[in-house]
Amino acid sequence: MHARSRSIALVLVCVSALALAGAACGGGHHKSSPTPTPTPAVAATITAISPGAARPGTVVVVTGTSFGATQGTSTVMFGNAAATASSWSATSISVAVPPAASLGAGDTLVTVVNDVGPSNAVSFYVELPQVFYVNDQSTPDAVSGYSLDGAGSITPLAGSPWPLGGTYGGFGGDASSLWVNPHTRRVYATVNTAVAAFNIDDSTGALTAVPGSPFGTATTANYGVTTNPEGTLVFVAGYGADALAVFSVGSNGVLTPVAGSPFPTQVGGNPDGLAMSRDGKFLYSNQEGTQALLRYSVATDGTLMLLGSSMNATASNYVVRAHPTLDALYQGGDNTGLIGYQINATSGNVTPMSGSPWTVPSSMSVTVSRDGKRVYVGGFDHTLSGFDVAADGTLTQMSWSPLTTTAVAGISVDLNADGSRLVAVEQAASGPMHVYAIGSSGAPTEIGTATLGDVAASSPEHISFAR
């Protein structure tokens, strides 16, 4: 082959190699262009969910990082339930809270799952339907359930009322004879010598009695009832026995008395209202007969140990209510004082708050908004009082307070989950109920009334929202 031919052949080979491999021909002085390396995928990070609590079907916004510009195969999970997204970006996702049937109510963990795996988990509170329950002395004694719409209309729940299976123990003072634990979705109501337990249907709010309900307490004239935050322990005030009954709660809701139950209070103390510290370590018991506030430590198995008592000048103490986000208590009775206490989270000791007691006409019931920013008091003289709550739990009475309501008897009051509605039920035959819209300033405006129309000859004791 001629030299010229060989040169042409070499050039052709070099061009072919350049096209295929991108390499330069010649003496190796030219470098290859690097092949781009894909950006490695990373797990998403959730920084917030707004709002942090909502009912199924409500759209909430999940914010964070590394969600991806589009959803692709990624998913937002509420527990084990996948949520439907209506918008998706790298830092924000709008999703509807999954149906109650697949999710239940109470605390659940939210994650964003991509090809790498799940993100960090953020707690979200799934609210029950906007329903409330009333413990009424009827024939037979029962719990009634109602739904409340935005316009203030009250509708009895299907199947209401639900018999308690016993005779009511008597007047409950602050009408503390009913308690709803939204985490376990159960309702507890006291009768003379027992406590009734019900499961709440997540979708409708209807009740189903726990197998074996009511459960004997070995006490008499039972009034107050409460649970620890997790709903694994139930406490009952035996007014007539000067003792407190304590139960552990099984996975099926069945109550079993703990060792040592019932635990003594004071002779002639007549325990009425009960309240649990927000961490579940301490139980507080109003003593109507001796005007004392007893404090107990609560062991993990429910065993109570009396730590001491605090005396006050409030006659006939009925109500004691714990603050949901602060170490604080509020206690009242049938005179003109609402007492505030700050709780020592280590010892359980209580110290009266600065400015306490605050003047109210009377205290039959006390409710604290779920965000802890407002306190409302229902009075025996059918008055309604309202307070703003400071960061340390101290109270400032609202300018409109107290309000003389249109009720004609003492009222038990409670707020719905978001604090936009308050319902007051009269302790009178047929139990008239009054619905108030709560404005941005906390002032109440009556927007509706109803009676316990599904119960004959009723006399209600307590109202409690499922929140």
Q: What is the pLDDT of residues 175-193, one digit of tens each?
A: 468 999 988 889 999 988 9
CA atoms within 13 A on the CB side of 209: 18
CA 405 from centroid of its chain's CA atoms: 28
Report the 10 Å Cβ neighbour count for 344.
13
Q: What is the pLDDT of residues 210-243, one digit of tens each?
A: 999 999 999 999 989 999 999 999 999 999 999 9
Total-model pTM: 0.82
Residues 6 or more apart whose CB falls under 8 angstroms from that of 12 comprise none
Burial (CB count <10 Å: 0-12, 13-18, 19+), residue 443: middle
The one-character DSSP state at 7 is H
Q: Using the predicted structure, report yes or no on whether residue 246 has a pLDDT greater than 50.
A: yes
Q: Which domains are delineated in the chain?
A: 45-126 (2.60.40.10), 131-465 (2.130.10.10)
* Top mean-pLDDT range of 115-124, 334-343, 356-365: 115-124
Q: Using the predicted structure, report yes or no on whether residue 59 has a pLDDT greater than 50.
A: yes
C-alpha Rg value of the chain to the nearest Å = 30
